[in-house]
């Protein structure tokens, strides 16, 4: 029997973003022609004397190929992988490729999935795979047409390779540089055929990253590196209580500090501007600020969890329902488990910063952001200027992890810079950054399941947590469903006849929530994979054998799981208190199977011994980047599993820096092996998949080693030592 909620059956993050939002919301991708003729608000570059067939490609008469990047580089290798996609179909000489970051312009550079110029959701390659290949192929065809006209031959008898066009019969050659001006007069062809993957020259190769040399020789410029003539430095303090305001400020001592230029008092924060960062920092420390803490000064983590757990008892909006869940759960032999994840901070290595110069008729910004056009529009509001009067210069990001999907740091810097007539670089201290973050939501998962013939016969999963999309992208919040919050819950890989997923929106009191690397799947993969291990034990099955039996419709997932088991020596005997744990997930259209091997001492301390990940991400544009992203994501996620938690007391975040918001240290990092499956499927997302894999695989390794079924992160060492279920 099909549930009455069949209309929700296909509701998923992917389905809605690529289908449900496209009508009247997501901008259909088009190849913007002659982008520089009808100038956008902020042109990417001067195109005089260059072949500029669309918004993404520039070729000058010297043959230099510049690729305009619609996505930002924050360590994930996007500049290189997107360049490879463009250069492949353009048949450019890789040694002559340069990268230029695109200006804010949703029309020209909006991500095809969201219709916004945004980098996130592990979709830079997924979203741009076909559009950028088309852009490259179209430009190549125009160059070939120009060469054929000069030679008075058929274009079909010409080929392109390494920035040259060759006439096959006569072996004549013309460089792209020599053809640049002539190609500019050609009409872009329609429906240019794209390369067969077997003919790829760059895609699939482990090419060296374009951003590495400058990052190693010190030439790379991050937002925090900005230096301008007459620039001053500022740092800020906001009320330590969520939503609090500035009361009284005694600045007498601060004004006496050498180098302090100005104290800026706003309604919700105070800034000190100085000749250098040290003066600004010492000046801020010297201020005596009485805060108006407001009504949130009584909020604690206890309140947050009480409210969340209470909300999780309510019925939720149905995200997906297949079969007859009531009948499937009617047996008395039910499994029930609740799984919880805490608030987490982003803790990017580069703290929040923005440099701003506000003039009466213009505002210019230098920063690193994942959401350029939103920064531009919000900065315009703060400056009281039309959006076309705001210029945003985006730089490399020293980590983003979703924090820089928010424009708040730039808005704050604009508000400070409005008080002076010179450029101001505003830098948040690590403490201010940590205690005024936009946090990964707390989540609670209620899972009920039954077993039939050693497999899951019925599965009910209720996800309770904040609806980030309701704030960040309201059209994506429909019929009470946050499609991010149920991602990887509605499309888990297992074959289950009676399947039901609900979502309960529960906003924490006062605490701001946002996207965190891994987004919704980092909660759902954890809950699903932990429950699967407990169900396997209940069924008397090996955890991998248990999963294998339910992967008949997901051959890619099954193949990844089998290879991971082989590479990790699954089943091989281990020493006492050493266990292996597995996680299987289909996040971001990537299938990844991960096995963690960990040792637990009698005091509950956990040592990571080895991690094996097998990744089927479809066509791996750059296999080295895929491996690096999985390695980094695993470390990010394992750090959270071992140490990560933001707690609240008296309306304040209790953690402040890396001493009490721990990172995994180099001596704690295990050997990590990543195996990339060769595939002809379209590329999936890779930047966040490793983050989601680490926590459940580690938890399951602890379960295997000790029999303790932890149900909350970070791991509770006292529970492990006592041998209790968490």
What's the pLDDT tens digit per position in 209-242? 999 999 999 999 999 999 999 999 999 999 999 9
Give me the half-sphere count of Cα atoms (radius 13 Å) on the Cβ side of residue 162.
2
CA separation for the pair 1, 218 (Å, rounded): 63
Residue 27 has pLDDT above 70, yes or no: no
CA triple 192-194-197, angle to 5 deg: 170
Beta carbons of 324 and 498 less than 8 angstroms apart: yes
Average per-residue pLDDT in the chain? Answer: 93
Average the pLDDT over 393-417 and give the result.
97
Predicted local distance difference test score (pLDDT) of residue 48: 84
Split at pLDDT 50, 70, 90, the class of 43 is: low
419 token code pair: 């008080």
How many Cβ atoms are within 10 Å of 410's Cβ, its own excluded?
A: 29
Residue 487 has pLDDT above 90, yes or no: yes
CA separation for the pair 488, 472 (Å, rounded): 20
CA separation for the pair 413, 383 (Å, rounded): 10
713 token code pair: 């992160």
Residue 37 has pLDDT above 80, yes or no: no
Lowest-confidence pick of 29-43, 272-286, 429-443: 29-43
Share of the chain above pLDDT 70, in %: 94
CA separation for the pair 128, 113 (Å, rounded): 9
Predicted local distance difference test score (pLDDT) of residue 724: 66
Predicted local distance difference test score (pLDDT) of residue 4: 33
Q: Considering only CA atoms, which of 594, 528, 529, 589 is closest in space to residue 560?
A: 594
Beta carbons of 627 and 592 less than 8 angstroms apart: no
Beta carbons of 51 and 180 less than 8 angstroms apart: yes
Phi-psi region of 510 (alpha: psi -120 to 50; beta: other; left: phi over 0): left
Radius of gyration (C-alpha) of the chain in whole angstroms: 27
- Exposure of 199 by Cβ count < 10 A (0-12 exposed, 13-18 middle, 19+ buried)? exposed
CA separation for the pair 289, 275 (Å, rounded): 22
Lowest-confidence pick of 33-47, 173-187, 440-454: 33-47
Residue 592 has pLDDT above 90, yes or no: yes
Single pTM value for the model: 0.93
- pLDDT tens for each residue of 247-288: 999 999 999 999 999 999 999 999 999 999 999 999 999 999
Average the pLDDT over 651-673 and give the result.
97
Beta carbons of 47 and 34 less than 8 angstroms apart: no
Residue 470 has pLDDT above 80, yes or no: yes
Predicted local distance difference test score (pLDDT) of residue 24: 26
Residue 5 has pLDDT above 50, yes or no: no
- pLDDT tens for each residue of 94-125: 999 999 999 999 999 999 999 999 999 999 99
Predicted local distance difference test score (pLDDT) of residue 725: 55
Angle between helices 519-538 and 689-706 (to 10 degrees): 30
Residue 359 has pLDDT above 50, yes or no: yes
Distances (CA, A) of 40 to 55, 61, 683: 10, 24, 30
- pLDDT tens for each residue of 303-324: 999 999 999 999 999 999 999 9
Predicted local distance difference test score (pLDDT) of residue 42: 65
Average the pLDDT over 504-527 and give the result.
97
**What order of strands is seen across the sheet that includes strand 334-341?**
317-322, 498-505, 455-465, 443-452, 334-341
């Amino acid at each position: 029997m099909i549930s009455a909620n069949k209309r929700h059956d296909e509701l998923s993050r992917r389905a809605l973003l690529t289908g449900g939002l496209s009508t009247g919301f997501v901008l259909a991708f088009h190849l913007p022609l002659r982008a520089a003729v009808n100038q956008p608000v902020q042109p990417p570059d001067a195109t005089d004397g260059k072949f500029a067939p669309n918004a993404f490609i520039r070729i000058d008469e010297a043959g230099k190929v510049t690729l305009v990047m619609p996505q930002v580089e924050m360590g994930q290798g996007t500049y290189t992988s997107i360049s490879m996609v463009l250069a492949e179909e353009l048949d450019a000489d890789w040694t002559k490729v340069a990268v230029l970051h695109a200006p804010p312009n949703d029309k020209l550079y909006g991500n095809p999935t969201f219709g916004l110029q945004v980098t996130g959701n592990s979709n830079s390659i997924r979203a741009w795979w076909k559009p950028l290949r088309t852009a490259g192929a179209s430009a190549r065809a125009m160059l070939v047409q120009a060469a054929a006209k000069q030679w008075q031959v058929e274009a079909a008898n010409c080929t392109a390779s390494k920035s040259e066009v060759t006439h096959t019969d006569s072996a004549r050659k013309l460089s792209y540089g020599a053809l640049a001006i002539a190609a500019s007069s050609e009409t872009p062809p329609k429906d240019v055929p794209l390369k067969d993957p077997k003919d790829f020259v760059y895609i699939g190769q482990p090419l060296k990253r374009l951003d590495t040399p400058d990052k190693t020789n010190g030439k790379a410029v991050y937002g925090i590196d900005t230096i301008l003539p007459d620039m001053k430095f500022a740092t800020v303090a906001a009320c330590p209580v969520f939503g609090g305001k500035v009361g009284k400020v005694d600045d007498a001592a601060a004004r006496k500090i050498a180098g302090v230029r100005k104290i800026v008092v706003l309604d919700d924060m105070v800034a000190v501007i100085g000749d250098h960062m040290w003066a600004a920092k010492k000046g801020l420390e010297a201020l005596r600020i009485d805060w108006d803490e407001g009504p949130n000064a009584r909020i604690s983590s206890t309140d947050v969890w009480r409210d969340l757990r209470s909300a999780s008892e309510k019925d939720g909006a149905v995200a997906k329902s297949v079969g007859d869940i009531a009948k499937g759960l009617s047996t008395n032999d039910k499994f029930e488990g609740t799984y919880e994840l805490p608030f987490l901070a982003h803790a990017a290595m580069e703290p929040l910063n923005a440099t701003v110069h506000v003039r009466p008729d213009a505002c210019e910004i230098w920063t690193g952001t994942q959401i350029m056009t939103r920064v531009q529009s919000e900065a315009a509001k703060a400056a009281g200027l039309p959006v076309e009067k705001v210029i945003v210069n985006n730089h490399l990001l020293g980590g983003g992890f979703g924090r820089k999907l928010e424009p708040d740091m730039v808005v704050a810097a604009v508000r400070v810079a409005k008080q002076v007539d010179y450029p101001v670089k505003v830098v948040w201290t690590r403490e201010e950054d940590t205690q005024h973050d936009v946090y990964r939501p707390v989540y609670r998962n209620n899972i009920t399941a039954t077993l039939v013939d050693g497999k899951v016969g019925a599965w009910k999963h209720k996800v309770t947590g904040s609806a980030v999309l309701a704030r960040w992208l309201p059209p994506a919040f429909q019929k009470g469903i946050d499609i991010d919050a149920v991602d990887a819950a509605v499309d888990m890989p297992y074959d289950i006849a009676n399947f039901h997923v609900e979502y309960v929106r529960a906003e924490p009191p006062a605490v701001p929530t946002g996207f965190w690397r891994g987004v919704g799947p980092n909660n759902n993969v954890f809950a699903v994979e932990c429950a699967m291990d407990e169900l396997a034990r209940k069924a008397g099955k090996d955890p991998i054998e248990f999963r294998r039996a339910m992967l008949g419709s997901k051959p890619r997932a099954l193949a990844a799981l089998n290879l991971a088991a082989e590479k990790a020596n699954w089943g091989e005997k281990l020493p006492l208190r050493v266990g292996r744990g597995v996680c299987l997930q289909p996040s971001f259209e990537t299938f990844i199977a991960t096995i963690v091997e960990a040792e637990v001492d009698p005091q509950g301390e956990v040592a990571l011994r080895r991690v094996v990940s097998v990744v089927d991400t479809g066509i791996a544009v750059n296999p080295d980047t895929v491996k690096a992203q999985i390695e980094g994501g695993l470390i990010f996620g394992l750090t959270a599993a071992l140490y990560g938690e933001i707690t609240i007391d008296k309306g304040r975040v209790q953690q402040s820096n890396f001493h009490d918001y721990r990172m995994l240290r180099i001596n704690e990092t295990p050997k990590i092996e990543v195996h990339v499956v060769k595939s002809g499927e379209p590329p999936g997302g890779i930047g966040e998949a490793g983050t989601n894999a680490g926590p459940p695989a580690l938890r399951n390794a602890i379960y295997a080693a000790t029999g303790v079924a932890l149900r909350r992160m970070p791991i509770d060492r006292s529970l492990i030592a006592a041998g209790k279920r968490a």
